[in-house]
Amino acid sequence: MTPEEQNFMRKIEAEEKIEPKDWMPEQYRKNLIRQISQHAHSEVIGMQPEGNYITRAPSLRRKAVLISKVQDEAGHGLYLYSAAETLGISRSEMIEQLQSGKAKYSSIFNYPVLTWADVAAIGWLVDGAAIVNQVSLQRTSYGPYSRGMIRICKEESFHQRQGYEAMLSLAKGSPEQKAMAQDALNRFYWPALMMFGPHDSESAHSQKSMEWKIKRETNDDLRQKFVDQTVKQIEVLGLDHPDKAIKWNEERGHYDSSDLNWDEFWSVINGNGHCNRQRVEHHIAAHDEGEWVRDAITAYNEKKRAKKAQQAA
Amino acid sequence: MSEAIKAATLEYATRLGDDSVVLGHRISEWISYGPFLEEDIAYGNVSLDYIGRARMFYTYAAELANDGRDEDDFAYMRNDREYRNLLLMEMPKGDFAYSQVRQLFADVYYTYLLPELLKSKDETLSAIAAKAIKETKYHLRRSRDWVLRLGDGTEESHKRTQKAVDALWGYTHELFDMDETEQLLADEGIGVDVSKLHDAWLAKVTEILTEATLTVPTEEWAVRGGRTGYHTENLGHMLTEMQIVHRSHPGCKW
């Protein structure tokens, strides 16, 4: 190991944060850029499925809460893009990678949001799963990412509570509302579990990322936490658990559950989900339509600068 | 409060609520469609302010009506013919220039309307105005900046912005119309005499459009009818979408 590498590893061992100007292995930088930008893209693409219900939210209060949630997601996207930018990649490069399909985002957003209960289920399950992951990432070794996570976690737990509360209103509501809630749970439960990624044995980037403390807990451990915490929540709602095999295992101190449909997981990751094309096309269309606006700002600023220079001369 | 004044105040609060919910809804249509992420956030803010106002106005209207209805009954259970919003608010979002020009017209309007409403003898209306004034200050700063940048940006942005100004101009005249209900309330010191705001509005809008190198339309073309429920064809579509889930489950809580 070079002295730089030794110093880097010493910091990692000592739980010191790595900061943007510190030396870091190229692969560490690459893994971080991949992970943080993927996280940022997930926030941004995640605005679409929920945004899809803003104009149909069933009460003014729910409409306000939903707008504010989607707005928070845009905000999270911004912090995360900024965190990634400290590693030497620009936001426009990241957006290009998202649009070309080179960069991924969480596959959960490739499932369609069909009913109002889906919006509630996303708040509860998807934000819930995200928090389990993000709480663990508050201890990630890269300073700007860790600080971003601390900030984001506060807002995400608010979203999760709102989602659960919306779900509770449905579950305790009319028979139609309750059926809507059950249907949403049945559809979103499995993809929410897939959010933790493949089994540790299948996860291409996991080992190195664990060693460098970019990731602090394995996919399977995080998934187990989520499975465990969700059982009680489903009970309180009075809904049926979508996993018929769910069973408390005294010895492990955890719930045993069915294995996931990994074919579906890989198929969605590889672009064949319900909404993959739609989500990316939406992003591209909005971005392209905004081009003349961005050009206008540049032109306007240029004119102002020229004017100032003229006045100064 | 006499019955006549109470009825007029209920109608007035409903009108102001309708303006807010319709505009708030239109702005919310931009979320995830903005030219960049910061704009999605800004649109969210402005839209939330208007939804918040709508809730306050409707809650007050419901209190005056005292017939068991709540804010959501006002928003979700009335048809387009019953809505009393100004037509300007219901126009579709259009392109970015169109939305920003509409916003400028509305923001300048509220810049002059709200300080008058603040003076209302009606404490609730005055309190809503107090909160809204702060929001509108921020809204106007934003829509003014945008119209300047778009008007004096590129050839294309200038063209689009001028087109939006021309297209929306005809809907601005009714912002300053009075009818019996509003006259009664203005005389009582409860409502605002909007006919008195026109000169200030026109002066401010002219100043901003001129700085943005845009031309202030001089055409007499004017479309009216929002306050009597004589809407454009756009509102029906908007309400159909907005009310679908609520109306599909009558009497349910969300």
B29-63 pLDDT, tens per residue? 999 999 999 999 999 999 999 999 999 999 999 99
pLDDT, average across residues A90-100: 97
Average pLDDT, chain A: 95
pLDDT band at residue A165, thresholds of 50, 70 and 90? very high
CA nearest to A56 within chain B: B242
Residue B208 has pLDDT above 80, yes or no: yes
- Specify the length of chain B in residues: 254
CA nearest to B59 within chain A: A60
pLDDT band at residue B219, thresholds of 50, 70 and 90? confident
Residue entry with tokens 């006002």:
B74
Cα B132 from chain centroid?
A: 12
Q: Kindly report the three-state secondary structure assignment for every residue of A269-300.
A: HHHHCCCHHHHHHHHHHHHHHCHHHHHHHHHH
Question: Cα–Cα–Cα angle for B216, B218, B224, nearest 5°?
Answer: 105
Asked if the C-beta of B27 comes within 8 angstroms of chain A's C-beta atoms, the answer is: no
pLDDT score, position A201: 87
Query: Alpha-carbon distance B157 to B162, whole Å?
Result: 9
Enumerate the residues of chain B whose CB falls inside 8 A of the CB of residue A295.
Answer: 153-154, 156-157
Q: What is the CA radius of gyration of chain B?
A: 18
Residue A58 has pLDDT above 90, yes or no: yes
Asked if the C-beta of A296 comes within 8 angstroms of chain B's C-beta atoms, the answer is: yes
pLDDT score, position B137: 98
B38 to A78: CB separation less than 8 angstroms, yes or no: yes
Query: Alpha-carbon distance A61 to A149, whole Å?
Result: 28
Query: Alpha-carbon distance A138 to A150, whole Å?
Result: 6
Residue A204 has pLDDT above 80, yes or no: no
Residue A206 has pLDDT above 90, yes or no: no
Instruction: Tell which residue, A100, A105, A102, has the closest CA to residue A126.
Output: A105
The alpha-carbon gap from A243 to the nearest alpha carbon of chain B, in Å, equals 27
Enumerate the residues of chain B whose CB falls inside 8 A of the CB of residue A297.
Answer: 149, 153
Q: Is B193 helix (H, G, I), strand (E, B) or coil?
A: coil
Residue B12 has pLDDT above 80, yes or no: yes
A62 to B33: CB separation less than 8 angstroms, yes or no: no
Under DSSP, the state recorded for B175 is G
Residue entry with tokens 């249907």:
A183
Asked if the C-beta of A175 comes within 8 angstroms of chain B's C-beta atoms, the answer is: no
Enumerate the residues of chain B whose CB falls inside 8 A of the CB of residue A41.
Answer: none
Asked if the C-beta of B214 comes within 8 angstroms of chain A's C-beta atoms, the answer is: no
pTM for the whole structure? 0.95
B254 to A59: CB separation less than 8 angstroms, yes or no: yes
A54 to B31: CB separation less than 8 angstroms, yes or no: yes
A292 to B242: CB separation less than 8 angstroms, yes or no: no
pLDDT score, position A200: 87
Instruction: Specify the long-range contacts of residues B80-84, CB closer than 8 Å, at least 24 apart.
Output: B80/B229, B80/B231, B80/B235, B80/B236, B80/B239, B81/B229, B81/B231, B82/B229, B83/B18, B83/B22, B83/B229, B83/B231, B83/B235, B83/B239, B84/B11, B84/B14, B84/B15, B84/B18, B84/B226, B84/B227, B84/B228, B84/B229
Query: Alpha-carbon distance B240 to B46, whole Å?
Result: 23
pLDDT band at residue A207, thresholds of 50, 70 and 90? confident
Q: Is B108 helix (H, G, I), strand (E, B) or coil?
A: helix
B154 to A63: CB separation less than 8 angstroms, yes or no: no
Identify any residues that bridge with A18 across adjacent strands, giving them in sequence order.
Answer: A142
Asked whether the CA dihedral A198, A203, A206, A207 is positive or negative, the reply is positive
What does each C-alpha distance from B230 to A67, B9, B223, B244 come to in angstroms?
A: 30, 21, 10, 22
Query: Alpha-carbon distance B62 to B203, whole Å?
Result: 37
Query: Alpha-carbon distance B155 to B216, whole Å?
Result: 18
Residue A205 has pLDDT above 80, yes or no: no
Asked if the C-beta of B242 comes within 8 angstroms of chain A's C-beta atoms, the answer is: yes
Residue A71 has pLDDT above 90, yes or no: yes
Tokens of B87: 């037509």
Query: Alpha-carbon distance A126 to B24, whole Å?
Result: 27
- Element spanning A247, H or E: strand A247-249
Query: Alpha-carbon distance A243 to A257, whole Å?
Result: 7
Interface subset of B 122-161, CB within 8 angstroms of A: 148-150, 152-154, 156-157, 160
Is A38 within 8 Å of A167 (Cβ atoms)?
Answer: no
For the stretch A264-301, pLDDT in tens is: 999 999 999 999 999 999 999 999 999 999 999 999 99
A292 to B45: CB separation less than 8 angstroms, yes or no: no
Furthest CA-CA distance within chain A: 81
CA nearest to B94 within chain A: A289
The alpha-carbon gap from A46 to the nearest alpha carbon of chain B, in Å, equals 9
Residue B85 has pLDDT above 80, yes or no: yes
Asked if the C-beta of A30 comes within 8 angstroms of chain B's C-beta atoms, the answer is: no
Is A282 within 8 Å of B32 (Cβ atoms)?
Answer: yes
Query: Alpha-carbon distance A182 to A188, whole Å?
Result: 10
Asked if the C-beta of B31 comes within 8 angstroms of chain A's C-beta atoms, the answer is: yes
Query: Alpha-carbon distance B252 to A175, whole Å?
Result: 10
Enumerate the residues of chain A whose CB falls inside 8 A of the CB of residue B25.
Answer: 55
Return the amino acid letter for A281: E
Enumerate the residues of chain A whose CB falls inside 8 A of the CB of residue B76.
Answer: 58-59
B28 to A63: CB separation less than 8 angstroms, yes or no: yes
Nearest to B28 among A54, A61, A286 (CB): A54
pLDDT score, position B1: 78
Under DSSP, the state recorded for A124 is I
Q: Which of A44, A47, A59 should we substitute to test contact with B (largest number of B Cβ atoms within 10 Å)?
A: A59
pLDDT band at residue A208, thresholds of 50, 70 and 90? confident
